[in-house]
Amino acid sequence: MNTEALLNSLISLIGDQNVLRQKEDLITYGFDGTAGLKKLPLAVLRPKTKEEVSGIIKLAQEYHCSVTIRGSGTGLSGGSVPSENSIVLCLQRMSRILEIDRENLTLLAEPGVITEKIGEAIEPFDLFYPPDPGSMKISTIGGNVANNSGGLRGLKYGVTRDYVMGLEVVLANGEIIWLGNKCVKDVAGYSLKDLFIGSEGTLGVITKVLLKLIPKPTARKTLLALYDSMEEAARTVSTIIAHKIIPCTLEFIDRFTLESVEDFAQVGLPLDCEAVLLIETDGHPGQVEEEAQKIKTLAHEHNAREVRMAQSQEEAIALATARRSAFAALARIRPTTILEDVTLPRNKLGEMILFVQQIAQKYDLKIATFGHFGDGNLHPTILTNEKDEAEMKRVHQAMEDLFLKTIEMGGTITGEHGVGLAKKAYLKQQYKDHSYTLLKQVKQTFDLKNLLNPGKIFDA
């Protein structure tokens, strides 16, 4: 590869100011939110239009240079860490909301729009975009789509995939295609757009996203249930779902996390219980009131020490904000924070929490546990120091135990963070038949020269 000729061609295409080459500029783009994974790119490109993206991809093809696609870099699986001798294609400058269609309940956005800005843009119209990843204040909608992000509201409303109606994508050969439309029903051919959702930048570059919106719920109630036993908290979750109540949010926080969050957020959370459930129900006022009372009753039946109901919108927001701050609160304790992401059948949650406690003792590690109990998504969070080689060896052993146990229990190694670099070693063990080979065949079909985010999800 003639690097100098490639860079000169890229400068001619998008301008010298949009091709970053100095080491001090490249460092920021050499890692994401995943601990221990770093690699400097050859250059960082900041296009503004789909035509510029297409031109960059065509030049990458011509010079046989791999491309790593990036948004805000909040990923937690190494998906946006540059590959060897690659250029980074950063889409943050493509940050416009292009259309809010109130008749069809859709929104068209470029990939660099911050997720939270979508909610703010549609708020005046009493519309609602439910997916709410923990990084929503800084993550981009393109990154959300590329990783099929989830969030606290996933139990009731689903994940990003459930709200993507159309995509504009630049393929690995530079061609620009549109997939999907504003139609509620469409079974014309294969659903190709769904291949790109969750593909982690390995199949194409997303340059526009058409999102489905829904009417904003008119009422909401937030409850906090306190437990002296994690097992009782887990059983409460199963009972709530068994009674055909689907809360908007059904979150779990263990004691370690609780203490860290309260120290960080100072919202008056209790510090003397083993587990807390944060539960939110929304919808029609009458339905919300009835569900909140049923949830309160069921929690008490499963030995909740106390069930608090937020008395104001401010209190409800404070409780939800406290839960969202769990990662930030824990990150203050040790130099390195590894936020894991496994999902299990709900009836296995109690067993998995106990297993996490066991591996923490086995390997002498600090592990906090919180997560989206309602949809079975747990976030065991290991607090460590990546400069301590002996401790990091124990960390990797604990992670391997965690992933293998998850697979054994019928779960998945990732519910919302993606595979990236961090988990690809375990993907084949989850895919036990020809389906793993099929994944590689899909990649080869869309990216024959293996230029887009190579080495992510699996080794080519």
Of 95-99, 219-223, 231-235, 341-345, the range with the lowest mean pLDDT is: 231-235
Nearest to 168 by CA among 208, 198, 195: 208
8 Å CB contact between 378 and 353: yes
Dihedral (CA of 139, 145, 148, 150) sign: positive
Nearest to 147 by CA among 83, 214, 211, 70: 70
pLDDT at 239: 92
8 Å CB contact between 309 and 350: no
Average pLDDT over residues 262-283: 89
- One-letter amino acid of 112: G
CB atoms closer than 10 angstroms to residue 141: 30
| 308 DSSP β-pair partners | 224
Question: Tokens at residue 386, please?
Answer: 């990546």
Torsion angle of the four alpha carbons 39, 396, 352, 245, in this order, in degrees rounded to the nearest 10: 0
314 pLDDT band, cuts 50/70/90, is: confident
Average pLDDT over residues 400-413: 97
Terminal-to-terminal C-alpha distance of the chain: 20
pLDDT at 53: 98
- State the DSSP string of 180-206: E-S-S---SS--THHHHTT-TTSSEEE
The distance of Cα 356 from the centroid of its chain, to the nearest Å, equals 21
d(C-alpha 450, C-alpha 428), whole Å: 19
Residue partners of 142: CB distance under 8 A and separation at least 6: 71, 91, 94, 110, 111, 112, 113, 206, 209
Beta strands, E only, 229-376: 249-254, 275-283, 306-309, 336-339, 342-343, 366-372
Mean pLDDT of the chain: 94
**300 vs 34, 275, 416, CA distance in Å?**
39, 14, 31
pLDDT at 323: 80
pLDDT in tens, 116-137: 999 999 999 999 999 999 899 9
6 pLDDT band, cuts 50/70/90, is: very high
Nearest to 225 by CA among 280, 265, 267, 155: 280
35 pLDDT band, cuts 50/70/90, is: confident
Backbone angles phi, psi at 83, to 5 degrees: -80, 170
Residue 283 scores a pLDDT above 80 = yes
**205 vs 176, 177, 193, CA distance in Å?**
9, 10, 12
Average pLDDT over residues 331-350: 92
Backbone angles phi, psi at 195, to 5 degrees: -65, -35
CB atoms closer than 10 angstroms to residue 144: 33
Nearest to 225 by CA among 270, 265, 257: 270
pLDDT at 439: 93
pLDDT in tens, 376-392: 999 999 999 999 999 99
403 pLDDT band, cuts 50/70/90, is: very high
333 pLDDT band, cuts 50/70/90, is: very high
What is the chain's Cα-based Rg?
A: 22
337 pLDDT band, cuts 50/70/90, is: very high
